[in-house]
Amino acid sequence: MNAGTGPGAFTPDGSPVEFYAAVTAAGEPGIVQAAVPAGGSILELGSGAGRVTHALLDLGYEVVAVDESADMLARIRGARTVLARIEDLALDRRFDAVLLASLLIHVPGEDSRRHFLDCCRRHVRDDGVVVIQWIPLDVRATWSVGTTFDRSGFTTTITEFTPAAGGLMSVTMAYETHGRRWTQSFTERPLTDDQLTTALADAGLAIDRFLTPDRTWFAARATR
C-alpha cells in the first residue's frame, strides 16, 4: 500500500508534494542531456512538481510534463502540463525523447509496466530515445535499512526494505530537507536484466546504451 507522512498534501502513490516542490534536480538533467539532442522535445512522465522539468527547461529543451497529481503540476512553470495517468495518456504528437524516471518502471503490476512502456513507445519518434531510470540487482544488493543518499539539498534514507509476497518489495523512504521530514511507503518489483529486456521488447523497445557507470540510467530505442 502506498502512503506518506509529513506536512502538506500527498499524491495517490504517497509522494509528498511539499517535499518535491522544495528540492531541485541532482544529476538527472546531465544524464538526460547526454542522450537527447540540444533543443529537443521531451515528454516527461511522472514529472511531479517539476524538480527535473525546470532544469531541463533551463537547458533549452521543450518539455511537456505529465502527472496524475494536480497539486504537483500546479508547481510547474514554463512547461505545458498534462493531468493524466501514464497508462491513459494519448497525445496527438510524438517527441524526440520520453523520460520515465523515479523508478516508475518498477511498478508492482506487470500490466502497469507494460502500459507505461507502451506509452513511451507510442509517444517517442521512431528515431527518438526513451530515457529510463531503474535499479539493477547488483545496485539493489547494496541497499539496506539505514542506507542514506545525500543529494542536492536533501537526504533520502531507507527505513524499510522488506520482501513481500509475489516477489515484491515493501519500501519506506524518509526524506529530509531544511529541517522538515516526510516518509513515503510503497511496494515495488525488482527486475532482472532479462526481465527488463523482455519488458522493453514487448513494447517495441531495446536498450541502446547505459548512461551511467552503475547502469541505473539507460537510453532505449524503438525496434518497430
Pinpoint the alpha helices (H) of the chain: 17-22, 28-35, 53-58, 70-73, 110-123, 137-140, 193-202
Q: How many residues does the chain have?
A: 224
* 127: CB partners within 8 A, 6+ apart: 222
Return the residue matching grid coordinates 519518434: 125
**Residue 146 pLDDT greater than 70, yes or no:** yes
pLDDT score for 152: 74
Residues 6+ apart with CB under 8 A from 18: 6, 7, 8, 9, 180, 182
Classify strands 62-67 and 41-45 as parallel, antiparallel or unpaired.
Answer: parallel
pLDDT at position 26, please?
Answer: 87
3-state helix, strand, coil in the chain (%, to 5): 25, 35, 35
Please, what is the average pLDDT of the chain? 96
The whole-model pTM stands at 0.95
pLDDT at 187: 95
Confidence band for 1, pLDDT divided at 50, 70 and 90: low
